């Protein structure tokens, strides 16, 4: 049967802990009451394939279809039901390009680098807290009404989770930033979920997200912008934290300058001896034992090369010195403290 109390919670995010409990990150948030509330956000699946699928919608043109209705809501939980409501449906509403999702693991990579999914969620959530964004969390409330879970796709399930299937009841997170009015959307699904569903939300066929994104070279929507070089390999520069909070060499919150690499292929790539450059004199050579698994991401700190807040280039070269991928960013993109700059996102 579908979720019994699906809806959205409009609130203010106060705290984010990426590893607060096994398999979940947790958002502490507040609405119009004096007490704080909790949202559980999956960072892994309990199935044999523990990976998640991740979409981030963040661009100058991204605005939710019901933005005005969302902004007019008072703080608090609001039940939703059906296509005429504010409910989300990944399959039917067309706001997500399902084949552009990225498969993400939850585990820490060699060398103690952050887990793939948290490398992306951490700066997004920390920035939302710092900027006092309005958060809209879609899912099902806890039984005690003191928080919300199921903040992920809630259809296309098999096995023990089939009873949760339904249409217009998918979870997700929307953020609205008061400083400039822009929106961001974070959406999650499980790699084992089937991406085609019937009018009850049950799987049609057995093609999972894992199969869809593997066939498509790992998904992504991460190609270079017009006028930039096309990637010559499967490893590309997907994003960068160009302007961390505080001084670049001594960030006051979270990580320092970081480049995020994405392996769009299915095979592991050894990155030892590869290097990142800033188009000037700075470079960061990747050390011994550094690898990036197939269909995976890696966060790489770059203390050896400055990422200018006035705009610049980031170049990835392989061990022989050949350019694998190159991206550019503007002064405007670098102007937001603590915000990831994404390359090739539509």
CATH number where 255 lies: 2.60.40.1260
Residue 185: Cβ within 10 Å count: 19
Which 3 state secondary structure label does DSSP give 213? helix
Within a domain: residue 250? yes
Q: Are 28 and 136 in contact (CB under 8 A)?
A: no
The per-residue pLDDT of the chain, averaged, comes to 86
Q: Domain check: are 241 and 210 in the same one? A: no
Q: How far apart are CA 90 and CA 120, in angstroms?
A: 21
Location of structure tokens 């002064």: 331
Within a domain: residue 220? no
Which of 215, 244, 263 terminates a domain? The answer is: 215
Q: Domain check: are 201 and 249 in the same one? A: no
- What CA dihedral angle connects 302, 303, 304 and 306, to 10 degrees? 80
**pTM, 2 dp:** 0.75
Is it the case that residue 267 has pLDDT exceeding 90?
Answer: no
Within a domain: residue 222? no
Instruction: Mean pLDDT check: name the lowest of 54-58, 78-82, 166-170, 180-184.
Output: 54-58
pLDDT tens digits, 146-156 = 999 999 999 99
Which of 187, 215, 243 terminates a domain? The answer is: 215
Within a domain: residue 261? yes
Within a domain: residue 83? yes
Q: Domain check: are 301 and 331 in the same one? A: yes
Within a domain: residue 50? yes
Confidence of residue 330 (pLDDT cuts 50, 70, 90): very high
pLDDT tens digits, 192-233 = 999 999 999 999 999 999 988 876 444 443 333 333 433 445
Which of 155, 180, 215 terminates a domain? The answer is: 215
**What element of type H or E holds 174?**
strand 172-176
Location of structure tokens 């008072």: 74
Q: Domain check: are 126 and 206 in the same one? A: yes
Mean pLDDT, residues 126-136 taken together: 94
Q: How far apart are CA 140 and CA 146, in angstroms?
A: 11
Q: Are 292 and 298 in contact (CB under 8 A)?
A: yes
Within a domain: residue 228? no
Report the pLDDT value the prediction gives residue 110, as an integer from 0 to 100: 42
Report the pLDDT value the prediction gives residue 281, as an integer from 0 to 100: 86
Q: Domain check: are 183 and 248 in the same one? A: no
Number of domains making up the chain: 2
What range defines the domain where residue 172 resides?
7-215
Q: Domain check: are 150 and 296 in the same one? A: no
Location of structure tokens 């661009």: 59
Q: Domain check: are 206 and 268 in the same one? A: no
Q: Domain check: are 203 and 311 in the same one? A: no
Q: How far apart are CA 104 and CA 100, in angstroms?
A: 13
Confidence of residue 234 (pLDDT cuts 50, 70, 90): confident
Express as a percent the part of the chain with pLDDT over 90.
56
Q: Domain check: are 263 and 320 in the same one? A: yes
Classify residue 193 by its DSSP letter. S
Which 3 state secondary structure label does DSSP give 68? helix
Q: Which two tokens stand for residue 279?
A: 């188009």
Q: Domain check: are 210 and 241 in the same one? A: no
Q: Domain check: are 308 and 200 in the same one? A: no
pLDDT tens digits, 23-46 = 899 999 999 877 899 999 998 888
Q: How far apart are CA 330 and CA 328, in angstroms?
A: 7
Confidence of residue 333 (pLDDT cuts 50, 70, 90): confident
Q: Are 328 and 312 in contact (CB under 8 A)?
A: yes
Query: Which value, in Å, is the radius of gyration of the alpha carbons in the chain?
Result: 20
Within a domain: residue 229? no
Q: Domain check: are 191 and 252 in the same one? A: no
Report the pLDDT value the prediction gives residue 186, as an integer from 0 to 100: 95
């Amino acid at each position: 049967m579908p979720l019994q109390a699906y809806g959205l919670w409009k609130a203010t995010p106060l705290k984010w802990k990426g590893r607060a409990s096994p398999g979940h990150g947790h958002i502490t948030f507040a609405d119009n009451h004096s007490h704080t509330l909790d949202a559980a956000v999956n960072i892994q699946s309990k199935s044999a394939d523990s990976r998640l699928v991740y979409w981030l919608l963040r661009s100058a043109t991204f605005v939710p279809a019901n933005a005005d209705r969302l902004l007019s809501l008072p703080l608090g939980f609001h039940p939703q039901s059906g296509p005429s409501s504010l409910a989300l449906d990944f399959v039917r509403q067309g706001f997500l390009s399902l084949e552009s999702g990225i498969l993400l693991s939850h585990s820490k990579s060699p060398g103690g680098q952050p887990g793939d999914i948290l490398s992306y969620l951490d700066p997004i959530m920390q920035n939302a807290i710092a900027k006092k964004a309005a958060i809209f969390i879609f899912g099902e409330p806890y039984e005690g009404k003191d928080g919300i879970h199921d903040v992920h796709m809630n259809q296309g399930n098999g096995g023990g989770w089939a009873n949760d299937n339904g249409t217009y009841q998918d979870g997700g997170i929307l953020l609205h930033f008061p400083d400039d009015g822009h929106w961001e959307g974070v959406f999650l699904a499980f790699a084992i979920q089937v991406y085609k569903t019937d009018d009850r939300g049950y799987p049609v066929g057995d093609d999972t997200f894992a199969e869809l994104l593997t066939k498509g070279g790992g998904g992504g929507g991460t190609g270079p912008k017009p006028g930039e070089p096309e990637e010559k390999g499967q490893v590309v520069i997907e994003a960068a934290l160009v302007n961390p909070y505080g001084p670049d060499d001594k960030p006051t919150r979270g990580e320092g300058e970081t480049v995020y690499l994405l392996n769009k292929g299915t095979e592991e790539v050894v990155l030892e001896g590869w290097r990142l450059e800033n188009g000037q004199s700075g470079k960061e050579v990747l050390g011994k034992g550094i690898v990036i698994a197939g269909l995976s991401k890696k966060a790489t700190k770059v203390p050896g090369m400055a990422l200018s807040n006035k705009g610049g280039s980031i170049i990835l070269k392989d061990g022989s010195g050949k350019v694998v991928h190159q991206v550019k960013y503007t002064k405007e993109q670098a102007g937001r403290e603590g915000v990831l700059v994404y390359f090739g996102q539509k």
